[in-house]
Amino acid sequence: MTEKANESRRNFLYLAAGGLGGVAAAATVIPFIGSMLPAADTLAASKTEYDVSTVAEGQLVVIQWQGKPVFVTNRTPALLKQLDGHDDMLKDKDSMATDAVSAEWLTDENRKYRSIKKEYLIVVASCTHLGCIPGYKPSAGRAEWGDSVPEDWPGGWHCPCHGSLYDLSARVINGSPAPFNLYLMPYKYLTDTKVVIG
């Protein structure tokens, strides 16, 4: 196993230890109870189907895949625009860690959006620092969030545990203790709106 794969695995294990602290979003949260999870080999093979059209514009829901919470967000054109203009703030711009989780659909064209359909972002909801679940803070600036975010906040996620920040493509912001962007995963569209993850 490569060092990057080991890093990814470690972070997923941190997730199991990290619990659900810090969810702060209009979201449906599925409880994550370790003792109720199926065996590891069953988890590794399991897939999750989800209809992304059930996520309202601008909103986020949390679903579950292989025992891990996953964010699904519906980004409006205005939110997508907030992805521009802050490349110099990105700590993991080339997103090398995504190789370890087989995001084979990732191309140069969709790398900024980190999604197959640009409005629907689907990422593992585990901070790549120690596995807490970051809170969703989509509007730009400090008006809604105060000094929990920087003045030039582009909108995204704020991890309450140790302050990691991610933009609306879940790309980690400079100065965060988290080393990598939130992880992507293999998925594909079965219909116009239904995805299968895994």
- For binding to ligand FES (CB under 6 A), which residues are involved? 127, 129-132, 159, 161-164, 177-178
Minimum gap (Å) between residue 128 Cβ and ligand FES: 8
**Which residue number, 131 or 155, has a Cβ lying nearer to ligand FES?**
131
Q: Compare residues 131 and 138 and give the one whose CB is closer to ligand FES.
A: 131
Give the separation between CA 76 and CA 57, rounded to whole angstroms: 6
Q: Which residue has the tokens 């900024």?
A: 112
**Nearest residue (CB) to ligand FES, 24 versus 116:** 24
Q: For residue 14, give the nearest of 148, 161, 175 by alpha carbon.
A: 161
Element spanning 49, H or E? strand 48-51
Least CB distance from residue 157 to ligand FES, whole Å? 9
Is 52 or 165 the residue whose CB approaches ligand FES more closely? Answer: 165
Determine contact, residues 188/116, Cβ cutoff 8 Å: yes
Identify which of residues 98 and 176 has a Cβ nearer to ligand FES in the complex.
176
The answer to whether 112 and 181 are in contact (CB under 8 A) is: no
In the bound complex, what is the minimum distance in angstroms from residue 178's beta carbon to ligand FES? 5
Cβ at position 102, least distance to ligand FES in Å: 23
CB of 170 to ligand FES, least distance (A): 12
Active site residue 162: yes
CA distance 143 to 136: 14
Give the per-residue SS3 of 71-111.
EEEECCHHHHHCCCCCHHHECCCCCHHHHHHCCCCCCCCCC
Question: Do 2 and 100 form a contact (C-beta atoms < 8 A)?
Answer: yes
SS3 category, 137: strand
Residues identified as active-site: 162
